[in-house]
Amino acid sequence: MTAQTNRQFLLAKRPVGPATRETFTFQHVPVGEPATGQILVKNQYLSLDPAMRGWMNEGKSYLPPVAIGEVMRALGVGQVITSNNPGFAVGDYVNGALGIQDYFVGEPTGFYKVDPTLAPLPRYLSALGMTGMTAYFALLNVGAPKAGDTVVLSGAAGAVGSIAGQIAKLKGCRVVGIAGGKDKCRFLIDELGFDGAIDYKSEDVVAGLKRECPKGVDVYFDNVGGDILDAVLSRLNFKARVVICGAISQYNNKEAVKGPANYLSLLINRARMEGFVVMDYAAQYASAAQEMAGWMAKGQIKSKEDIVEGLETFPETLMKLFNGENFGKLVLKV
């Protein structure tokens, strides 16, 4: 095994603004041998997530920052090729924090097995993985939609937003997506069955909300923050729920994050805004994934993956998330 090479992206410095190729060191090292309790995994698909940009920053967050010189953190799926851990056997497929590299060697903390005969491997990073779990728990537990509610989502054609919007449709809601560009807006209505779409790149979002949400907004599932959050706050209903799932428009800011100017709408409407972190629900992933798989088998939820091939493309591929070039869950095929 040691004859084989492991290509790795290490965090070289903390970026100011967007991450670039210079943010990372790309190195070739021999594949290590797993010690007692450890496993060796051949990585196959790696999940590229907006949160990775936050993990590059110093400071307190829901996870410690990636250290300088450490392999860039990433979830992924791969196959066990050596195991010194009784919980995993050679040949098992696993989902875990594999990192941006060809091979993972280490303790499989938080890893779980997946079955490639039940679903294609990339799907365990989209609807059946952390992305789907985010959509499921953020919408149902924090957004708490009721039939007849109007649910608005930003980043609606993205990985999390597209799944959350479809779940809201299943719950009998009027669902309106905010996305960038005509193709993504058409996809929301024609492919996913949303009731309305607002193209924030070519129309005024407040005007779009007036048109698509004549009865106001009961649940806002926010993935982008910034001006779009402010626009939706201005249209909230009495007792509305605002789910702070993400704020991708702010992640590359060189200045301080822009907070919402319209927050007094929460007071006027006795509404609430609540932050969400998917890891808090890890104990319930298995049952939620089972329900998600059932909806997918019945054709009620569609999952779209955007797969880019080549570990070496990582820095440029990651940037697709921040300029809207991904269409579906962004996955790197190793």
Ligand X SMILES: NC(=O)c1ccc[n+]([C@@H]2O[C@H](COP(=O)([O-])OP(=O)(O)OC[C@H]3O[C@@H](n4cnc5c(N)ncnc54)[C@H](OP(=O)(O)O)[C@@H]3O)[C@@H](O)[C@H]2O)c1
Q: Contact positions toward ligand X, by CB under 6 A?
A: 49-51, 131, 134, 155, 157-161, 179-181, 184, 223-224, 245-249, 276-278, 321-322, 324, 326
Pick between residue 105 and residue 188 the one whose CB is nearest to ligand X: 188
Tokens of 164: 């959350």
Least spacing, CB of residue 190 vs ligand X, in Å: 16
270: amino acid identity, one letter = R
SS3 content of the chain, % helix, strand, coil (to 5): 30, 25, 45
- Cβ proximity to ligand X: between 175 and 248 the closer is 248
3-state SS assignment for residue 209: helix
Question: Cα torsion at 113, 119, 123, 124 (round to 10°)?
Answer: -10
| Minimum gap (Å) between residue 50 Cβ and ligand X | 4
Q: How far is the CB of 227 from ligand X (least distance, A)?
A: 8
State in angstroms the smallest separation of the CB of 198 from ligand X: 10
Separation between Cα atoms, residue 184 and residue 31, nearest integer Å: 41
Residue reference for tokens 């579906």: 328
Min dist. Cβ of residue 255 to ligand X (A): 14
Helix axes 285-297, 130-137, angle to 10 degrees: 90
- Smallest gap from Cβ 138 to ligand X, in A, equals 7
- Tokens 């493309």, located at residue: 313
- 80 vs 127 by CB, closer to ligand X: 127
Cβ proximity to ligand X: between 138 and 296 the closer is 138
Residue closer to ligand X (CB basis): 6 or 184? 184
CB within 8 A of 212, min separation 6: which ones? 176, 195, 196, 197, 198
| Cβ burial, residue 148 (10 Å; 0-12/13-18/19+) | exposed
Under 8 Å between Cβ of 230 and 262: yes
Q: Report the residue number, 102 or 305, with the smaller CB distance to ligand X.
A: 305
Sign of the Cα torsion 131, 136, 245, 197 reads positive
Closest to ligand X by CB, 99 or 165 = 165
Closest distance to ligand X from the beta carbon of 146 (Å)? 23
